[in-house]
Structure 1
């Protein structure tokens, strides 16, 4: 009888292990709620005092005075006291803990201890933020959702693109209605071109005009020429396209003023002009100069036109997505002025610290550090900003080139015509002949 019960217990244990492994692999969120969170919460609660003691997060207090008959006895021993924490609150793929700081403590000491929390609690990452004075929020991510990003879902909206997945497991969405202009930085083979391809394929089926500026001879954006309303492949063509867009922007301003509205989105649908998304690959090519007068004049002209579009285009349905391997102040003050207008930021792995600083430094210094820690093996991983002003690690979905080209060809028939841009490019071609 005993051997039968033992065999039955082994069979039940094996079944539990097999089912648990299947749930962990195919339903990681379920596994986290059922198994991962209870275990992690216990580790946080039972190790907190020791972790706080080892990382100088405690304060020392004297033992209280006591009475021994008519004598007052004062204790001399010091008693380390750990900060009070809330019970760990479960999230989709992690948990959060609120810490009430001791008097005189700052969040900086908790930032230094973040790696210690990771090892003690056996989790992927711990982010330290301060939502209010005297409080620290520890956001724990159990596993890295960017290793095998699933296809998240997001509502289909005009000028909204599902790019990939956030480290929280949620959808990474670029919504140009909420954040009208974007700056994307990334070294070669960091995932920048893949992200642009994903963005184009997501916008291809929408009633949106896509304009490409690729001064590398159109090697990247030329693949999607069938869905582009215009494509500039050199700086002279870029100036012609940008100049035509500025003229079009003036016409849109006049239409809004005549209708007594402040943006094209307040116009009746039949009078609303088509939104335009200008995608620029390798911004440095527009600003570099060889020292000659003509080259300097072209760079300054590009800088002025881009700045005007960035400053006035959001309410008029004109949006900029600017990408580059290197974005530094050495390209001139025009780049810094343009950067200030591009409120959406995405930083992949970069080759120089100044590019990460230029991309994210004016928003959050912690984001710069995280962006510089992205390795060459983490292709597609980036630090991105959100509509709320916060930042997060994210990974774009891999869209193979063949698939992206096929999607743009599929929607080539709905490409909006922009006659002013075509006339500008045709005039420039005529001058060259």
Structure 2
């Protein structure tokens, strides 16, 4: 009885949604920005329609995709039922809890039959997308004996990503775009101190780096850049960078200065009997330092000469030391490049293992996505491979064993000019080398 009442209520809401869509549709579409912030139209029209489709197709969908089991009495087992896989008598689908609406779709909880595993549900996700006519279905299993089905009715990463507005963010937390559930995409360097960003040319790596610098520019942090493409990308940020290296020789001097700074911060913490700079009093705490590297492979490529090989090896060693020692001392590393495999140079694999945050944009081959996300989740690798050329800025973000789709916002020339006019924090370093490595507005020497 209760099921019939609920079905009739959903049917009435669907009819109301159809009428509403015809009468208010053009007016609502004109206010698409407001709809993205609070998509109440989805609650009125999309949710009832999708929930009704899920409930009415669940039994047949489970049967066709091997999710049902059959219950038949066995006279040899008194008072018990025998669970049999396959197409036996009375196929019984797993129990589906009532769909819970979200901002971009639905969340379903499925209670598994005894002996079932989540594996068939992962394989049935494409069938669910077609049966329910939704953008995407993602299956997780946070608890034993049940799975969660996350239904995305429409792609939230399409359209323009809204700019971050409001009060200044938490220190070392950067709002760089939007994730697939419609929430802000936050890169928190306090939580995940080092990041790796990969992707093919024109896939969105530079846009993400620009979004990161834009979000960090108002904060009291020091930014240093290594851009071996002659500074064409990071050089646009002008005086906001405390230092900029535009070739490998300059990068070697800059990284040497960063390692010296790490050792000096170690000395200060050791003298104060503290384990990190965050335990120091605010007036004695040095400013956080973020090292941004664009086109990592340029630091490792050699022309065959001994001098070139020595420079590449030294750069690899210094980058690895920064990643291993910098987290507790407020020194963070953000590395971007097309490939991060051992084929581009020594110590790259060890460096990659130290970069806990991973961002994979569109890749030309499976190996590139595998290098970035293979040790996180194989499903994330497949998702990264399915990013098309039309989805510029879309990437798969992984950290702490979790992964999701996200898209960085586009940084306009006006935003870039605003960054260039921002001054870095005064005296952010404990040591000042004799070279111009850390001099404002100059490149490393």
Q: What is the TM-score when the length of structure 1 is the normalising length?
A: 0.88
CA offsets per residue over residues 370-424 of structure 1, 9 Å max, x none? 01110011000000124x5311100111112x12321122213656565635716
Name the structure 1 match of 2:171.
Answer: 158
* CA-CA distance at 1:58 after TM superposition: 1.4
Aligned residues: 407
State whether structure 2 residue 132 is matched by structure 1 residue 121: yes
Maintained 8 Å contact 1:204/1:407: no
Bigger fraction of residues in helix: 1
Please identify, of 356-365 and 99-108, the stretch whose mean Cα deviation from structure 2 is larger.
Answer: 99-108
On the 8 A contact 2:138/2:149 being kept in 1, the answer is: yes
Equivalent residue runs for 1:181-330 within 5 Å: 181-330=194-343
1:18 — aligned with what?
23
**Which of residues 407, 426, 429 in structure 2 aligns to 1:395?**
407
Paired with 2:164 and 2:217, the residues of 1 have a C-alpha distance of 19
Per the TM alignment, residue 157 of structure 1 is displaced from its structure 2 partner at its CA by 1.0
Tell me the equivalent position of 1:27. Answer: 35
Number of the residue aligned with 1:97 = 108
| 1:228–1:415 Cα contact (<8 Å) kept | no
* Unaligned ranges ≥5, structure 1: 1-11, 66-75
Pair 153,136 (structure 1): closer, same or farther in 2 beyond 3 Å = farther
Query: Aligned partners of 2:88, 2:389: CA distance in 1, in Å?
Result: 52
1:338 equivalent to 2:341? Answer no
Q: Which residue of 2 aligns with 1:109?
A: 120
Cα 1:421–1:110 change in 2 (3 A) is: farther
- Aligned alpha-carbon RMSD (Å): 2.6
- In the alignment, the residues of structure 2 paired with residue 144 and residue 334 of structure 1 have an alpha-carbon distance, to the nearest angstrom, of 39
- Residue ranges of structure 2 left out of the alignment (5+ in a row): 1-16, 76-86
Structure-1 separation of matches of 2:295 and 2:382: 23
Alignment correspondent of 1:48: 58
- Matched residue SS, 1:392: strand
Equivalent residue, structure 2, for 1:72: none
Q: Which of 180, 189, 193 pairs up with 1:167?
A: 180
Question: Given the superposition, is the C-alpha separation of residues 120 and 298 from structure 1 closer, same or farther in structure 2, using an over 3 Å criterion?
Answer: same
8 Å CA contact 2:295, 2:337 repeated in 1 = yes
| TM-score, normalised by the number of residues in structure 2 | 0.85
> Once the 2 structures are TM-superposed, how far is the Cα of residue 77 of structure 1 from its aligned partner?
7.0
